[in-house]
Structure 1
Amino acid sequence: MPKPRSSQVSLEDTPFYHCVSRTVRRAFLCGIDNYSGQSFEHRRGWVEDRLLLLTSVFAIDIAAYAVMSNHLHIVLRIDSELAQAWTSIDVVNQWHQLFKGTLLTQKFAKGDAIESYEIETLNETIAEYRRRLMDISWFMRALNEPIARQANKEDNCTGRFWEGRFKSQALLDEAAVLACMAYVDLNPIRANMADTPEHSDFTSIQRRIKAAFKGLQSDVLLPFVGNERKNMPNGLMFDIKDYLELVDDTGRVIRDDKRGAIKPGTVKILNRLNIPLENWLKVTSEFKYLFKGPVGTLEELTRYCEHLDKKRIANASSCRYWHS
């Protein structure tokens, strides 16, 4: 039976998770349906706009994303420290950007007087909103439901647009995060939807490359902050230039019709993560087939399973091979 999300998320072990949503009934997110000949390319904009809007509301950062023809990949980071730092009015205002809230929270947001007998109920509601604003399930719900309504209206039908449950997997170390990000960023290239990362429309890698041309980092994606040091800002502990080069090199190798190789200077990031080159290429091509659950070293997998009271350590053999 499917496991509840609460049994798969352990912030004690990692704030990073890979989520995938798929459509049903031959529904298309984007591209052209070969069966009907109808184009759904415009729906990519729906998904990307909604996704990036949610990052300004939830205490959740986006590290990578790719909108494909019938599914969506997201690598996200839960920022529990941000959520806990929000004041009560901050929480209510964040929530009201997406939902109406209650009469009591609307009253509180307007600055109206709160009666003494209402305070306990208000505090309980705010505590629940705070939890939801750093909850993956609520994030995916806020993403998928509006898209489903728009698509159903356009298709003049009712019923499910997405599969009943999105899939999620914990990324337990920086090697798993980086590999999964590259796997997501290279999705359009593997699917022959794009020739290069910069031509991969509606993906995080294209957004990062466009910002890099201006000497900047994307202001809506989790930034790369370089090597670990004192007073580290929140972000990915790699250099943005190294990551972009690694993804570009990997993309050229993955494409059968392209001549390419991982350059010696780029291999340094793999050496730092203790991932052999051949393993990297396999993982970034077949991530979803190799790992059906949490990803990390055997030690991290064991700790993660203990914290969630899991008796069986999933992916143990795959992760042992990957780090060998």
Structure 2
Amino acid sequence: MTISRSQIIALDSTPYYHCVSRCVRRAFLCGIDSVTGQSFDHRKQWILDRLGMLTEVFAIDICAYALMSNHYHLVLRVDRERVEAMSDHEVLGRWNVLFSGNPLIRMFLAGQKLSTVQEQMLAALIRDIRPRLYDISWFMRSLNEWIARQANKEDGCKGRFWEGRFRTQALLDEYGLLTCMAYVDLNAIRAGIADSPEHSDFSSIQARIGAWGKALGKEAAAQCPPLLGFNDSGTDDALLPFTTLDYMELVDWTARNVRADKASAMDEDAPPILVRMGIDSERFTRQMRGEGGSFPTFIGAYHCLRDAARERGLHYVRGSGTARRLFCGEMVS
């Protein structure tokens, strides 16, 4: 049964979401058209630049991304509390970066005196705009509509560029977040267009490796867009709930297993983070190859999927069996 996006995106359950947008028919987002030979790789920088700008407007952080030839993946974290703590001036100032056509907002930001009626109208605007700054649909709309207009202008055509609205999955816990981030970062390797994480062009793992090399004094391209950092100190809940070392080791180990197409991954060689979280290493490797079962709407440990079903009045959500097999170390009551 199809679940509406309003039931999937529930910030009281999780701030983390995986979003995918795919081009319609043979339209190319990036890459080289095998028929015409035309390259669209320059559009990748359009997307990264636009994402960098959107993270300055919205209170939505990017955890991972991968840009492919006809689709892209984003793993996002929504920070509703940050928006709720913003002043009215900051809310309208951010919104005005993208949508600058409202004269009342421009008057307010310029410090002009407003009448009582105008102040009431402005207050209503602020009530409408504030939640949009942590709304994934507004974030994705601001990205996809802009990209579609740019691509259609370049192609000299009109009409639909994306096959539909973006698809989304809720990442209910650390199991879901870790699995989805690694899956996104390994897209190029799984597709056979890269042989290692550092060669996975226009992916968040390449950007993180480049930023790490730059910190060590090595030459690296500027990281764009900014990525949510890892909680290396163990004391900052505003960061990703893993350490840089744990995540890098996991992606490197998994990339070698995926690339080598081994029959199985050895538990004794498994990265420490898989061992600590009780994730079956062989099933995790199969999952990264796209062979381990599906998580259509929600990703997480079995008890989280069960709770998500109950909260939405459902008897069952797809992916429960995959969760029970993959996250074998978590306690199932």
Q: Same fold (TM over 0.5)?
A: yes
Alignment-derived partner of residue 85 in structure 1: 85
Question: How far apart are residue 252 of structure 1 and its match?
Answer: 1.3
Residue 283 (structure 1) aligned with residue 283 (structure 2): no
Question: How far apart are residue 143 of structure 1 and its match?
Answer: 0.6
8 Å CA contact 2:265–2:281 kept in 1: the answer is no
8 Å CA contact 2:63–2:228 kept in 1: the answer is yes
Q: C-alpha separation between the residues in 2 aligned to 1:262 and 1:20? A: 31
Aligned length: 322
How has the CA–CA distance of structure 1 residues 241 and 215 changed in structure 2, closer, same or farther, with 3 Å as cutoff?
farther
Question: How far apart are residue 303 of structure 1 and its match?
Answer: 2.2
Q: C-alpha separation between the residues in 1 aligned to 2:207 and 2:265? A: 24
> Secondary structure of 2:299's partner?
coil
Q: C-alpha separation between the residues in 2 aligned to 1:304 and 1:261? A: 31
Letter in 1 for 2:97: Q
Give runs of aligned pairs for residues 168-207 of structure 1, distance below 5 A. 168-207=168-207
One of 306, 309, 314 as aligned partner of 2:318: 314
8 Å CA contact 2:65–2:72 kept in 1: the answer is yes
Letter in 2 for 1:268: P
Alignment-derived partner of residue 95 in structure 2: 95
TM-score under structure 2 normalisation? 0.90
Question: How far apart are residue 262 of structure 1 and its match?
Answer: 7.3
Report the identity percentage.
48
Give runs of aligned pairs for residues 139-154 of structure 1, distance below 5 A. 139-154=139-154
Question: How far apart are residue 93 of structure 1 and its match?
Answer: 0.6
Alignment-derived partner of residue 301 in structure 1: 305
Q: C-alpha separation between the residues in 2 aligned to 1:288 and 1:47? A: 30
How has the CA–CA distance of structure 1 residues 157 and 289 changed in structure 2, closer, same or farther, with 3 Å as cutoff?
farther
RMSD: 2.4
Question: How far apart are residue 90 of structure 1 and its match?
Answer: 0.4
TM-score under structure 1 normalisation? 0.92
Alignment-derived partner of residue 31 in structure 1: 31
How has the CA–CA distance of structure 1 residues 285 and 305 changed in structure 2, closer, same or farther, with 3 Å as cutoff?
same
How has the CA–CA distance of structure 1 residues 85 and 266 changed in structure 2, closer, same or farther, with 3 Å as cutoff?
farther
What CA deviation, in whole Å up to 9, does each residue of 1:107-163 have, x standing for no partner?
A: 111111121122232112112111111011111001111110111011111001112
Q: C-alpha separation between the residues in 2 aligned to 1:119 and 1:265? A: 64
How has the CA–CA distance of structure 1 residues 92 and 153 changed in structure 2, closer, same or farther, with 3 Å as cutoff?
same
Question: How far apart are residue 314 of structure 1 and its match?
Answer: 3.0
> Secondary structure of 2:157's partner?
coil
Structure 1 unaligned spans of 5+: none
Alignment-derived partner of residue 272 in structure 2: 268
Letter in 2 for 1:269: I
How has the CA–CA distance of structure 1 residues 188 and 284 changed in structure 2, closer, same or farther, with 3 Å as cutoff?
same
Question: How far apart are residue 99 of structure 1 and its match?
Answer: 1.0
8 Å CA contact 2:283–2:292 kept in 1: the answer is no
How has the CA–CA distance of structure 1 residues 291 and 257 changed in structure 2, closer, same or farther, with 3 Å as cutoff?
closer
What CA deviation, in whole Å up to 9, does each residue of 1:52-96 have, x standing for no partner?
A: 221111000000000000000000000011111111000001111
Alignment-derived partner of residue 19 in structure 2: 19
Q: C-alpha separation between the residues in 2 aligned to 1:288 and 1:277? A: 12
